[in-house]
Structure formats: structure tokens, C-alpha cells
Amino acid sequence: MNHNSIFYRLPLQSKSISITDGHSQVHRNYLFDPSGLWVHNRPRNEPAINQKEHQMRFALTAMFLIFFSTTALAAQYNFMSREDLKQRLSANEDLLIVDIQVEDEFNQHHIPGSIATYAYPVKKVEDRARLEPVVSLQQEELKHLVIVCPRGAGGAKRTFDYLVAQGVPENRLWILEKGMSGWHYDELTAVTE
């Protein structure tokens, strides 16, 4: 198989095209889909790909496209910088700060007044169940909610998605950028002993 090939769709039609660069002439067989888009080229002496291989490539291409199209359509997340959160805390703004770090990490460092859920990594039903009290509290008080996780990445995004699915408005949800690993304000960091 030619390493220059790319995935293509069924059914394919073969067309022979001659290309001249001024000095030499190259004959290539091109496979086209019915819409006329170029899909694959191969030298004349290379055997055509059989129907089963076409079907397998089609299936792989379909799975690839479905995966990346759903990823591209994923939710947009609201991020809050550590400076913005510090300013809001200093101004005594009424926020719900939800910390999803595991218990050991929470005990080592957390933002004072944050709600410990120990829900990280928020992948299992048990992890998400730890967020239920937060959902009730946010719906009662309608405050802006800031999600704090170890690094402000996957666990925070899964928490964001879960809270949205439970009816918390996206415009009231924030993720602390870089999580606790990016929080460098000792005066606004608590330790549980």
C-alpha cells in the first residue's frame, strides 16, 4: 500500500491521469468518490484495493470523524484567573467555591471557605454523587460557583459538565485556571490539620 494514501469513501471510481512537469511525464491512477473529490492515488502497477479493505477504511474514517466532531462540539468552559478570584474574595463577593481535590490534597492546601467534595477525578458515579449537595446549594442560593481542582483541567471540566447537566446555568459556573497548582496566595490558602 502506498504510504501517501488517505482514507476514502465508497464507492470509488478509478481514473488515469498523466502529469507533465516539463521534463518527464508521470502516469497515475486516481481513485475518486462520486462527488469527484480526489481521494487516493497509486502507481499504475499497484493493485487496486479490494472491496473489503474499502469498507474497513470507510468504517475507520466514520469512527474518526464521529469522535472528533463530538469533541469539537464539546461545551465551552468559563475560566476564572487566580487574580480575578483573589480580587473577588478580597471584595467579599458571595461565591460558592467548590473544591474537588482528594482529601489529602484538600487538607494540604485549599481556599478558605471552599466546600470540600473530594470528588476528584469525577469519573465514577460515586464521584459525581459527592457533588449532589453542591447542586442543591447552588440552586437554592443562585450564586456564582467556582470549581477548584488540582490543576484546573479534566476533573474541573467533568464537574462543569455534570453541574450543567444537573441544571446549573453555565453563566454561573467558573473553573479556576490551573487549579490549586496555580494558586500562589499564601494569605488566601488554608491548611486542615
CATH superfamily for 79-188 is: Rhodanese-like domain (3.40.250.10)
Whether residue 37 has pLDDT greater than 60 = no
Average pLDDT over the chain, rounded to an integer? 78
Residue ranges of the chain that CATH labels 3.40.250.10: 79-188
Query: What does residue 82 show for φ and ψ, rounded to 5 degrees?
Result: -65, -35
Between CA 74 and CA 69 the distance in angstroms is: 9
Extended beta strands in 48-100, E state: 79-80, 95-99
Q: What pTM does this model have?
A: 0.61
Report whether the peptide linkage leading into residue 11 is cis, meaning its omega lies within 30 degrees of zero.
yes
